[in-house]
Structure 1
Amino acid sequence: MSDDAPVVNKKVLGVFALAMINVAAVLSIRNFPSMAIYGWSCIGWYILGTILFLIPISLAGAELATGWPEGGGVYAWVKQAFGEKGGFTALFCEWSNNLVWFPTVLSFTASTLAFALTPNLASNPWFMFSVMMIVFWGTTAIAYFGEEASAKFSNVGVILGSIVPSLLIIILGLWWLGSGQAIVLPHFSFGQVVPTINLSTLPFFATVVLLFAGMEMAGFHALETRNPQRDYPKAMALSAVIIVICTVLATLAIAIVIPASQLNLASGVMQAIQYFFDASGIAWLVGPMALLITLGGVVNLASWLIGPAKGLGIVAEEGNMPPIFDRTNKYGAPVAVLVIQALIGSVVSLLYVFLPSVNQAYWILSAMTVELLCIVYILVFAALIKLRYSQPDTPRPFKIPGGKTGIWIVGGLGLFGTTFAFIVGLMPPSFFTSWVTYVSAVLLGTFLLAVPPLVFLKFKHPGWSKKTQGGSNP
């Protein structure tokens, strides 16, 4: 970015806008049917995820972002505790897992849009790929215009695409209860809330813990708020309340109306929605709902697309990556990183749509995204604990209560949840005949996607630093 580039006031995000960044990243309607299969015990699973991850990451993010609000999110936090290698590794793992995850949310968005038009389109690879590319590059274009444009899009999009559909499902569930309609779940008892944990459900544990992944996304935008120390904790609390209420109640609303057998047979979230709306007598709303959920998928993608990219730009600005990764425009958007990840994501999407024979390989890649996210959060929780000892006097406008005992409880719960999720994430699905091959492939792939920061730092060149470039990028 040249020295004469216009100065942009980045402090544009209020509490609501910051909270919507988290809600956009975390609240996903496509998870509701898969959770509703578990009936009343979905409450227990959600409670487990809330205790072992949502509450710890919310509290950890609030303390870390207000204590070190210099921008960069997980990079800045982990770097303070474990140096450049640790911070760079945490951020890169968060960014590289997106490259494999992008096609899954893109395919969900495209198939949902197909349902609003003609469901058969979902089986047309050209339609799927075309929509996926329009959405992917369209959200990249929005990110090009910087924080203010992205925030406005997220504010409107998350309300229309995630919160409104969730509330509509909840309202219909309440109407169903009040109208005396048959409830497909057995009579409620507290015993049924307790989830069944055995070898068959253990892999599901990793999914539950990471259902709330993304709560740290607002940390990348800490400097774009008027008062990070005041606004960030409020935003974390607001987003957590919205996410938990919408997720739990909407899942239960689906569970009480749709038999578990129908949910098992459903090939996607819109089939479940159609069953639900047909049973409620408002089938005409299925099309508009599909359009809203499509918008929700786009916003979900956009929130993950810009956050880690901003962090990577900060890493490059500090001279830890080649200057090309530091290219920004007059809006302060990391254009080079945005284009690079869009190109890689497009190639992976192309393989995902047109080479269905790679399903097993893609399953391994999906497992790698779980492992990479677990590495990120393990480092974040470890940094939370260490910084209480290594930098006890650093002002923290929001501080987890209870002193060192409190920090060990919060950080310990988070470390346990994410470490256990990492371990069970290595358990292969039933169609893999060789456990050793599966685990070896996942671990090797995870290593290859996590190690580039060490390579960059090993070959770090003085010319990468802005200071040696006279303070400007070409």
Structure 2
Amino acid sequence: MSASTLPAADSGSTSKAVGWLAHGGQTKPRPKIVIGMMAFAIMNVTTIVSLRGMPAQAEYGMASIFYYLFAAVVFLIPVSLVAAELAAAFPKQGGVFRWIGEAFGPRWGFAAIYYQWQAIVIWFPTVLIFAAAALAYIWWPPAFDQALADNKLYTIVILLAVYWFVTLFTFRGMGASTRLSSLGGLFGTIVPGAILIALGVVYVASGKPMHLDLHGSLIPDFSNFHSMVLAASVFLYFAGMEMQAVHVKDLTNPTRNYPLSVLIATIMVVAIFVLGTLAVGAVIPREAIDINRGLLVAYNELWASFGLPWLGNVMAAMLAFGVLGQVSVIVAGPSTGLLAVGKAGYLPHLLQRTNAHGIPVAILILQGVLVTVLCIAFTVLPSVESAYQLLSQMATIIYLVMYVLLYVAAIKLRYSQPDRLRPFRIPGGILGMWLVGLVGLAGALVALGFSFIPPAQISTGNPVLYVGTLLIGSALFLAIPFIIYAFHKPGWKAADSDFEPFESVV
């Protein structure tokens, strides 16, 4: 999941890295934007692609191709189609809060947008752990880099420093955040990704030592459930396609061009992930892959093989800058969406406070406190890598629950509001909706099941404690929005809230 900005083809809009705002942020009048099919495909690619997760999938060798394709078919494409229909049918502000609220009422709508925000809060430490590792790999020699990246005290200090710096920087306004994100997306994700793939191709073509078995099976061993846990995390890598669904009405001929743009974006995303993952697997022995710093080691090994080891340090600096840009825009985005819903009467006035730039400072501070607690809490785990994986699995669980609600809501709305104008409909009528919804639902439920299993490739300590932490943590986070909703009062609605009421009475 990436938060890169969009290309210039999206002419009059601010960076759609603020696509998070589309879920719950306020929609103000703006000039009509016309987006071409290819431009829209690229918008989706830059929203999704992130390099951090490639080492985790590289552990599977050639079978990683299967997991990427499987996730694309049962997750990426269904989410894209369902979100596009809902965004076109319910263009008013609210995003998943409105879409799911129209089907099941505001209680479930509030839970959905809360889960979206909460998953990102839990996900923050994982990307910050990677930032700490990237900063460690700027130095020399490699042995020092590795020791520093594995040091818990160093990791906690760096990730908290980076997070709070970005949070305070965000107080300057969304414009400042998106400018930083634009530079970070270009020089910290797109350029390094292209370099990784190019180096991998040259490495293989040069006949250098290969650690990837090109003749390995493309079909994974389904009998070994524990070994498939990391593969389930690929769903979170693909999360985010729905962010751009709100722009479906800006497409020329959306009925034709939206499905085509999704298909093109899917092919591009899968190609980038597959080629990048195979490049990592080619230069690092399978047993030596570390999911937190594997990408950094891959760059070091690739450049060293061409006699330019110092460029590995440069790549680490670029990746660290990319994380800074990614975190910058995501710090404010989901919180701003939650603010719009909160001002409609679902959060107390204390959490509705904003500064002169319209940034929800109260929610950001609460978010920062939660991130700080999560970052410090991982000291009880046996390694930085195990903490990274635990938080990734928990974020995946919460995010997938939101997607389950999304699929069920889309199917129900076809029956509860059959005559509603839908500028874009999933092809195939009601049968098409059932097919897409059930495929997506099945994929999400399968991934949910695997997300509760300790991975075989990582030392996570006591498996009972690990699974217990996942179960208790997930249950707690999933229950919180219902507790908040139970205590919400009509007086919480802000005087300046322009949130339109739901059109259906549930």
Task: Please give the TM-score of this superposition, normalised by the length of structure 2.
Answer: 0.79
Distance across 1 between alignment mates of 2:382 and 2:467: 20
Residue 265 of structure 1 and its aligned partner are, at CA, apart by 9.8
Distance across 2 between alignment mates of 1:363 and 1:151: 28
Give SS of 1:466's match.
coil
Residue 380 of structure 1 aligns with an amino acid whose one-letter code is L
**Is 1:343 aligned to residue 369 of structure 2?**
yes
Aligned partner of 1:95 in structure 2 is 117
Taking a change above 3 Å as real, the CA distance of residues 253 and 14 of structure 1, as seen in their structure-2 partners, is farther
For 2:481, which of 430, 439, 453 is the aligned residue? 453
Taking a change above 3 Å as real, the CA distance of residues 40 and 362 of structure 1, as seen in their structure-2 partners, is closer
Distance across 2 between alignment mates of 1:34 and 1:340: 31
Distance across 1 between alignment mates of 2:304 and 2:242: 38
Aligned partner of 1:4 in structure 2 is none
Distance across 1 between alignment mates of 2:325 and 2:115: 22
Residue 417 of structure 1 and its aligned partner are, at CA, apart by 0.9
Taking a change above 3 Å as real, the CA distance of residues 31 and 439 of structure 1, as seen in their structure-2 partners, is closer
Residue 221 of structure 2 aligns with an amino acid whose one-letter code is T
Residue 306 of structure 1 aligns with an amino acid whose one-letter code is A
Taking a change above 3 Å as real, the CA distance of residues 245 and 343 of structure 1, as seen in their structure-2 partners, is same
Q: Provide, for residues 73-126 of structure 1, a one-character-per-residue CA deviation record: whole Å limited to 9, x for no partner.
A: 322221121111111111112222333322221121012112113525435555
For 2:55, which of 26, 33, 37 is the aligned residue? 33
Residue 90 of structure 1 aligns with an amino acid whose one-letter code is A
Contact 2:128 2:159 in 1 (8 A): yes
Distance across 2 between alignment mates of 1:470 and 1:83: 19
Taking a change above 3 Å as real, the CA distance of residues 260 and 362 of structure 1, as seen in their structure-2 partners, is closer
Aligned partner of 1:196 in structure 2 is 221
Distance across 2 between alignment mates of 1:131 and 1:208: 26
**Is 1:290 aligned to residue 316 of structure 2?**
yes
Distance across 2 between alignment mates of 1:287 and 1:21: 30
Residue 197 of structure 1 aligns with an amino acid whose one-letter code is F
- In the TM superposition, 1:81-120 aligns within 5 A as 81-118=103-140, 119=145, 120=147
Give SS of 1:200's match.
helix
For 2:237, which of 192, 211, 215 is the aligned residue? 211
Q: Which runs of 5+ in 1 are unaligned?
A: 1-6
Residue 368 of structure 1 and its aligned partner are, at CA, apart by 2.9
Contact 1:20 1:155 in 2 (8 A): no
Aligned partner of 2:354 in structure 1 is 328
Task: Please give the TM-score of this superposition, normalised by the length of structure 1.
Answer: 0.84
CA RMSD of aligned residues (A): 3.5
Aligned partner of 1:401 in structure 2 is 427
- In the TM superposition, 1:55-66 aligns within 5 A as 55-66=77-88
Aligned partner of 2:166 in structure 1 is 139
Q: Which runs of 5+ in 2 are unaligned?
A: 1-25, 500-506
Aligned partner of 2:402 in structure 1 is 376
Distance across 2 between alignment mates of 1:466 and 1:143: 23
Residue 342 of structure 1 and its aligned partner are, at CA, apart by 1.5
Residue 395 of structure 1 and its aligned partner are, at CA, apart by 2.6
**Is 1:442 aligned to residue 464 of structure 2?**
no
Contact 2:283 2:298 in 1 (8 A): no
Contact 1:14 1:226 in 2 (8 A): no
Contact 1:25 1:301 in 2 (8 A): no
Contact 1:62 1:236 in 2 (8 A): no
- In the TM superposition, 1:139-218 aligns within 5 A as 139-188=166-215, 192-198=217-223, 199-218=225-244
**Is 1:70 aligned to residue 88 of structure 2?**
no
Residue 307 of structure 1 and its aligned partner are, at CA, apart by 3.2
Residue 178 of structure 1 aligns with an amino acid whose one-letter code is A
Hey, which bits of structure 1, 4+ residues long, moved more than 6 A?
Answer: 7-10, 16-21, 357-363, 469-472
Aligned partner of 2:304 in structure 1 is 278
Residue 267 of structure 1 and its aligned partner are, at CA, apart by 5.0
Pick which of 49-58 and 147-156 moved more: 147-156
Contact 1:367 1:425 in 2 (8 A): yes
Pick which of 298-307 and 407-416 moved more: 298-307
Between Structure 1 and Structure 2, the one with more helix by share is: 1
Aligned partner of 2:289 in structure 1 is 263
Taking a change above 3 Å as real, the CA distance of residues 471 and 45 of structure 1, as seen in their structure-2 partners, is closer
Q: Provide, for residues 311-351 of structure 1, a one-character-per-residue CA deviation record: whole Å limited to 9, x for no partner.
A: 21122111011012222344433232122201221233234
Pick which of 97-106 and 46-55 moved more: 97-106
Aligned partner of 1:3 in structure 2 is none
For 1:412, which of 438, 444, 457 is the aligned residue? 438
Residue 228 of structure 1 and its aligned partner are, at CA, apart by 4.8
Give SS of 1:451's match.
helix
Residue 462 of structure 1 aligns with an amino acid whose one-letter code is P
Pick which of 225-234 and 396-405 moved more: 225-234
- In the TM superposition, 1:352-363 aligns within 5 A as 352=378
Contact 2:188 2:320 in 1 (8 A): yes
Residue 149 of structure 2 aligns with an amino acid whose one-letter code is A
What is the aligned residue count?
A: 457
Aligned partner of 2:277 in structure 1 is 251
Residue 76 of structure 2 aligns with an amino acid whose one-letter code is L
Distance across 2 between alignment mates of 1:153 and 1:242: 25
Distance across 1 between alignment mates of 2:248 and 2:170: 21
Residue 161 of structure 1 and its aligned partner are, at CA, apart by 0.9
Taking a change above 3 Å as real, the CA distance of residues 226 and 336 of structure 1, as seen in their structure-2 partners, is farther
Contact 2:212 2:278 in 1 (8 A): no
Taking a change above 3 Å as real, the CA distance of residues 127 and 92 of structure 1, as seen in their structure-2 partners, is same
Aligned partner of 2:13 in structure 1 is none
